[in-house]
A and B are shown apart, each in its own frame.
Chain A
Amino acid sequence: MLSKKVILYFILITGGIITLAPFVWMLSASFMYDGHANVYPPRFIPDIFTLTQYEVLFQRLDIGKNFINSLFLSITVTAVSLFFNSMAGFAFAKYRFKGKNKLFNLLLSSMIIPAQVTMLPLFLMLKSVGLINTYMAVIIPGMANIFGIFLIRQYVLSIPDSLIESAKIDGASDFRIYRSIILPLAMPILVTLAIFTFMGTWNDFLWPLIALTDNSMYTMPVALANLMGEHSKDPELMMAGSVVTIIPVIIVFLALQKYYIKGIMMGSVKG
């Protein structure tokens, strides 16, 4: 029995090392002087520790601006879509109205359409009203999403009708019920969806690459990819840029991982 256990741990630890090695190297190279990561054998600990690369990023390359862009867009898209999705999810879960099931099924089945299909017309639409290269270009397509509505609906279905009925008898308005009963009770799924949306917006690449055309408007991933064009021979600088890009999502994930993992499981057990 012991040997089986040893093999098991050996595989798991080896897997863990392989998974973490890129991060360790990234972090280490980001604290090196120019050229110190281009050595053989590779170093996993900086020979001389320095913050030069981070200084270059924030002072000369003004990456702080891109960081703020990403932060602002991720927070805004999360707030707006949470509001819109939760109202729609509530309506689908707790109201009876004409064409409800048809509408819901139409939404669900259109989830198979890849977003890339919409990008050309979306670009033309936004360009014709002068919104390309503005924050709105990123916020608008993210205002509502079908997966979010679905996730909230599933959760709200489990809230007992009796709570809503008694609030109605007490004379609460529909919006009051949404705000004072549904939202507080649905808090776990709202947190889950907030993490998904925040990370999704932060990590998104193709659409911001299309919709934002100016360096000062770029989000972190776009700025980083752009930087790669000029600095493909500077691993130290690029690793510092990667660290700055990754840190916010890692923090959000580590702080709220329980909700995140629950969300993945919920999304996978659909009917």
Chain B
Amino acid sequence: MRIRYSAPYLFLTPALTAIFVFFFIPVIAAFVISFTDFDIYAINNFGTARFIGFDNYKALINDQLFWTSLKNTFYFVIAAGPLSIAISLGAAILLSSKLVRLKPLFRLTYFLPVVTTLVAVAIVWRFIYHPRFGILNYFLEFFGINPIDWLGDPNWAMPAIILMAVWKNFGYNMIIFIAGLQNIPEDLYEAATIDGANGWQKFKKITLPMLAPTTLFISIITMIGFFQLFAEPYVMTQGGPLNSTLSIVQYMYQEGFRWWNMGYSAAIAFVLFLIIFTGTLIQFKLQKSPEA
């Protein structure tokens, strides 16, 4: 048979050229820029940017606002991540129960926030959190809870964003968990029942271990997504009040595209990359150790 060497390269060229030129080169360029003082003057004349070594990274260490954005983002990831995963798992288990009918309807309902435009729902939630007219405070009043100034109080603004993010995202992981649950052989549960295991024991000894690979995957994609927090604070709080919701990406955006400190902004972007990379490694390690 004739071997056509050129064919695969022709098929690959358009996609790989696009990825190379508009993804890989920018990644390398960003790395280089992070070691320069690239600013508004350099935008029109690249030649004016100078190499300044690690100065941007050193400056970050002493930048109070950067630490605030780091702290806020970690707060968001550490709270919203496990919370949304736990709710996803809970919903998936309930929807896998044989007692429940109309499963597709429930699944569809829970999934709806996932597909909707983040900016649009963030705006909806901004009004839901209105201290006087918002529907959240209205509902909470039934339980005797006094009105909370969700987005105006520095202590409540981040929890408000976390709550909204959980509502928006749990449906996605729920779908993946449902698929994972379907792959657990039914006879494992039957054998456990015969041995007299109760529901909680079955959950702990069968469901959780069997779901471990799924959970690892979900933890990683959720973490990567949540570290990129941007639109919610941009729309709902602009990073306030008192910078209590300023995120890393938002700080990067402000430095780079509002003040045009592109060298500094590139350094922030690389710190974000480093954090995501480390986070992924840690989760792989945790998963491998027996007690996790």
Contacts and interface: CB of A to CB of B under 8 A. Distances in A.
B127 A239 contact: yes
Contacts of B83: none
Contacts of A11: 94
B77 interface: no
Interface stretch (B4-12, B55-63, B190-198, B201-209): B4-12
Contacts of A210: 253, 257
A121 B109 contact: no
Interface in A1-50: 1, 4-5, 8-9, 11-12, 15-16, 18-23, 25-26, 29, 37-42
Contacts of B22: 118, 122, 125, 140-141, 143
A110 B138 CA distance: 46
Interface residues of A, number: 93
19 contacts: A8-B100, A16-B106, A16-B109, A19-B110, A37-B133, A40-B132, A40-B133, A87-B11, A91-B8, A114-B269, A118-B22, A121-B26, A121-B27, A140-B22, A145-B19, A205-B231, A210-B253, A242-B120, A257-B108
Interface of B: 1, 4-5, 7-12, 14-16, 18-19, 22-27, 29-30, 33, 43, 46, 91, 94-95, 97, 99-100, 106, 108-113, 115-121, 123-128, 130, 132-135, 138, 167, 171-172, 175-176, 179, 214, 217-218, 224, 227-228, 230-231, 234-235, 249, 252-253, 256-257, 262, 265-266, 269-270, 272-273, 276-277, 280
Interface of A: 1, 4-5, 8-9, 11-12, 15-16, 18-23, 25-26, 29, 37-42, 83-85, 87-88, 90-92, 95, 97, 100, 103, 107, 110, 112-114, 116-125, 127, 140-141, 143-146, 149, 168, 174, 178, 199, 202-203, 205-206, 209-210, 220-222, 224-225, 228, 232, 235, 238-239, 241-242, 245-246, 249-250, 253, 257, 260-261, 264-265, 268-269
